[in-house]
Amino acid sequence: MARHKSPYAIGAALLGLSFLAACDLPLRESLKPQARPAGIMKPRIAPKPAVKAPSKAALELSAYYIRLQEHLLAQGLLRRDGGGPDTGFRAFELGRNFEKIAFFNEHAPGQLTTTPGQITRFHRWRGEARVASHFGNSVSANTREKDARNLNRYLARLSRVTGHSITASAQENANFHVLFMGVDDAADIRKTVRSVWPDFPESRLTQLMALPRDIYCLVHSNVAFAPPGQERAIALIRTEHPDLMRLSCIHEEVAQGLGLSNDSPHARPSIFNDDEEFATLTTHDELLLKMLYDPRLSDGMTLAEARPTIAQIAAELTGETTN
């Protein structure tokens, strides 16, 4: 789903000097380690990735997103407080928002427009979500380290909230791939996508390689129809974003790839809302994730079938149940 906006694991050598009780046998001396060749003693330092100088297009896009972030912050947007007294919600709102976000796709298949997507049956990532980060040649070593750290911390939070296995993974074992790439990394995007998802639709790959400026980031996932354990997702986070907008994209796109696949203008406090009020996952959004992985909701449910259960879960989570 796209963020579509207008104006996005010392070794210590134990000498083990053992002896026989009540015996006069001499102790054995431990063997002295032999000196190692000097070359082996040198620490191995991983080479820093070669970073391409940014193109004019990349510089202009980066400047644009910096101004945009400053503009949003000046308006009190991109909040990171998770919501507060000014953003209260009740069971009705929580249930309604869950319906809109979990039972609809943000876009019609193959489109990146703001046209409301089609209604779907209930779906969520059922197998283990093994998430790997990939970086384009335009991303510096320091930025790679920061983005990977932010992603891994977020995965731990998602796993804790949902009770589902959502972990950082090596690229070769992953099924959820987060691409930190930009306009100068089109070749890296194509190479990575074709490597991790060979039958990924060419039309969508073309879109990934040439996103319009008002799409900040997006995720493509097969979670709505894949058999359990065969889910896949690819998220693209623009490298041109300043730090907070990159973090915001991580939060929204990974959560959407798990099954919260839509946005709603009524959802508040929430990142699943195009108004940019919140940059990072809120308390409301954590409840949506708990609902997504509540065992009382079954894969393939229609909205009509799920609605009574949704209302019950929402009431429990907000403390509005009556005994």
- CATH class of the structural domain 125-258: alpha beta
Locate 304 and state its tokens.
């009509």
Residues 43-61, mean pLDDT to the nearest whole number: 78
pLDDT tier at 321 (50, 70, 90 boundaries)?
confident
Among 17-31, 130-144, 184-198, where is mean pLDDT lowest?
17-31
Residues 99-126, mean pLDDT to the nearest whole number: 75
How far is CA 67 from its chain centroid? 25
Is the pLDDT at 230 greater than 90, yes or no?
yes
C-alpha dihedral (309, 311, 316, 321), degrees to nearest 10: -110
pLDDT tier at 13 (50, 70, 90 boundaries)?
very low
- Cα–Cα dist 249/235, whole Å: 9
Residues 280-300, mean pLDDT to the nearest whole number: 97
Q: How far from 314 is each of 78, 163, 310, CA to CA, in Å?
A: 26, 18, 6
10 Å CB burial of residue 14 (0-12, 13-18, 19+) is exposed
Neighbours of 178 (CB within 10 A): 27
Among 20-34, 153-167, 179-193, where is mean pLDDT lowest?
20-34
pLDDT for res 105: 80
pLDDT tier at 116 (50, 70, 90 boundaries)?
low
The residue extents of the domains of the chain are 88-123+265-323, 125-258
- Cα–Cα dist 124/301, whole Å: 11
Residues 59-76, mean pLDDT to the nearest whole number: 98
